[in-house]
Amino acid sequence: MFLLACLVVFVCLDRGRELIAAQLLGDVPHYAVEDTMFEGMTSNVDAPQQVRAGSFAKSFEAKEVRPSGPDADFVEQNSDAHIALTGHVVAGGETLSSIASMYETTVSSLQELNAIYDPNTLFTGERLIVSPGSSGSGLLKKSIEQIGFVRQTFGTSAGGRPIESFQVSDGELPIILVGAVHGGYEWNTALLAYRILLYLSVYPGLVPSDVTLHIVPIANPDGIFAVTGSTGPFVTADILGDTSDGRMNGNGVDLNRNWGCDWAPYAQWRETIVSGGTRPISEPETRALRSYFNSVDPVVVIWLHSAAGLLVPGGCNGVHHEPSWQAASLYGVEAGYPVGEFTAYPVSGDGANWLAQHKIASFTVELNDHQDLEFERNLDGLLALLTGVESLVDE
């Protein structure tokens, strides 16, 4: 039945407001809800302390760099790993093959660095990362290894795998981007997070100076491992045909049904009943994220999911949370996704709803499918949010 449901409906539907899972199962018991941000928490995060002031001068210039063709000025050298990265904007008529020739690299290297699932999706104007002269496998993993951002392991999954974050820039306004809460089932969200990370490592000037961007590429490493056999960056060739089992963590829990807003032990995923955990925030991944949120004190948290094709602002029990809607709108206008409520079926224990309940702006990005990264539009949306986030704080 599980597999059948996966085949029949080709979307991951994550949202809703009411608790239907419990209705489906009959009586709705009451549970002690562990949903506070700070109570009983012991932070294991060694993140820099952020100071949030009431207002900030807009002193940055978020200049977007769009190089065209090879340019030695954009090559970032790393003497340890010996991988040089540069940017390339796809010109009309170019193919991955012609670009590979131009930089003396390979098509597979280009595909790996940019997580391009289907070479036919390449389009004019697309911003690529290129490693001139490089070939061979493991290029993405090596590139992430040498990345200059502050990298830390802030938690461990149910299966004992590290949960990592990367800190991009060092401004006063923290924003957190979380990928792959639904693990290998939504592997494209992990690769989108990695591609954004790699792109910003080559063009760090794109991040406004008053913002600190934190990226957690894989919030559910057990689920990614189940589908890719990897604990970190992976290539699309590694992905198994059936990714459904990669949705849960090592305890078989749906991590976006484990948060404290409207939590229920039996939750809904399309027509399937899934585990929301033994209690709210019972899972090591959720607990690690909560500690991380508590440490960073973010202005906005963005969750990457697929594939319902819209942005869904957080809001617990149907309560409208204006900052979450504003944050989603900043992102959505540039990214070209509609902003709205998820109405396909009710969802309990959702992360964005829980954050909104705790007065932290949050929204979910639902990509359109389970393969493409939709990198360009999401990079644009993210940069628009980073540039405009000041307006959320001033309110």
Alpha-carbon gap, residue 91 to 94, rounded angstroms: 6
Q: End-to-end alpha-carbon separation of the chain, Å?
A: 48
Alpha-carbon gap, residue 305 to 18, rounded angstroms: 20
Closest CA to 326 of 379, 390, 376: 390
Q: Does residue number 334 form part of the binding site for Zn ion (CB under 5 A)?
A: no
Q: Are strands 361-367 and 310-313 parallel, antiparallel or unpaired?
A: antiparallel
Q: CB 283 → Zn ion: shortest distance, Å?
A: 15
In the beta sheet, which residues pair with residue 174? 212
* Stretch of residues binding Zn ion (CB under 5 A), selected from 14-22, 319-327, 344-352, 369-377: 14-22
Contact call for residues 178 and 216 (beta carbons, < 8 A): yes
By C-beta, is 182 or 214 nearer to Zn ion? 182
DSSP helix/strand/coil, 301 = strand
Q: Does residue number 14 form part of the binding site for Zn ion (CB under 5 A)?
A: yes
Which 8-state DSSP code applies to residue 41? Answer: -
Number of CB atoms found within 10 A of residue 46's CB: 10
Q: CB 123 → Zn ion: shortest distance, Å?
A: 26
By C-beta, is 103 or 185 nearer to Zn ion? 185
Residue of this chain nearest to Zn ion (CB atom) = 305
By C-beta, is 105 or 244 nearer to Zn ion? 244
By C-beta, is 117 or 149 nearer to Zn ion? 117
Pure H helices in 51-161: 96-102, 107-114, 139-145
By C-beta, is 14 or 164 nearer to Zn ion? 14
Q: CB 334 → Zn ion: shortest distance, Å?
A: 22
Q: Does residue number 352 form part of the binding site for Zn ion (CB under 5 A)?
A: no
The single-letter code of the amino acid at 83 is I
Q: CB 183 → Zn ion: shortest distance, Å?
A: 9
Q: CB 157 → Zn ion: shortest distance, Å?
A: 17
Q: CB 307 → Zn ion: shortest distance, Å?
A: 8
Q: Does residue number 47 form part of the binding site for Zn ion (CB under 5 A)?
A: no
Contact call for residues 368 and 306 (beta carbons, < 8 A): yes
By C-beta, is 261 or 389 nearer to Zn ion? 261
Contact call for residues 165 and 218 (beta carbons, < 8 A): no
Q: Name which of residues 155 to 194 contact Zn ion (CB under 5 A).
A: 182
Q: Does residue number 257 form part of the binding site for Zn ion (CB under 5 A)?
A: no
Q: Does residue number 224 form part of the binding site for Zn ion (CB under 5 A)?
A: no
By C-beta, is 142 or 247 nearer to Zn ion? 247
Q: CB 87 → Zn ion: shortest distance, Å?
A: 30
Alpha-carbon gap, residue 245 to 223, rounded angstroms: 7
Which of residues 6, 12, 139, 301 is near Zn ion by CB under 5 A? 12
By C-beta, is 90 or 227 nearer to Zn ion? 227
Which 8-state DSSP code applies to residue 219? Answer: S
By C-beta, is 103 or 225 nearer to Zn ion? 225
Give the angle subtended at the CA of 261 by the CAs of 341 and 367, to the nearest 5°: 40
Q: CB 365 → Zn ion: shortest distance, Å?
A: 10
Q: Distance of alpha carbon 280 from its chain centroid, rounded?
A: 22
DSSP helix/strand/coil, 363 = strand
Closest CA to 37 of 227, 289, 232, 246: 289
Q: Does residue number 17 form part of the binding site for Zn ion (CB under 5 A)?
A: no
Alpha-carbon gap, residue 162 to 232, rounded angstroms: 9
By C-beta, is 208 or 351 nearer to Zn ion? 351
Q: CB 302 → Zn ion: shortest distance, Å?
A: 13
Exposure on the CB side of residue 250, measured as CA atoms within 13 A: 14
Q: Does residue number 347 form part of the binding site for Zn ion (CB under 5 A)?
A: no
Q: Does residue number 370 form part of the binding site for Zn ion (CB under 5 A)?
A: no
Q: CB 241 → Zn ion: shortest distance, Å?
A: 19
Sketch the per residue contact string, 284 through 313, with Zn ion: x for CB under 5 A, - otherwise: ---------------------x--------
Sites of contact with Zn ion (CB under 5 A): 12, 14, 182, 305
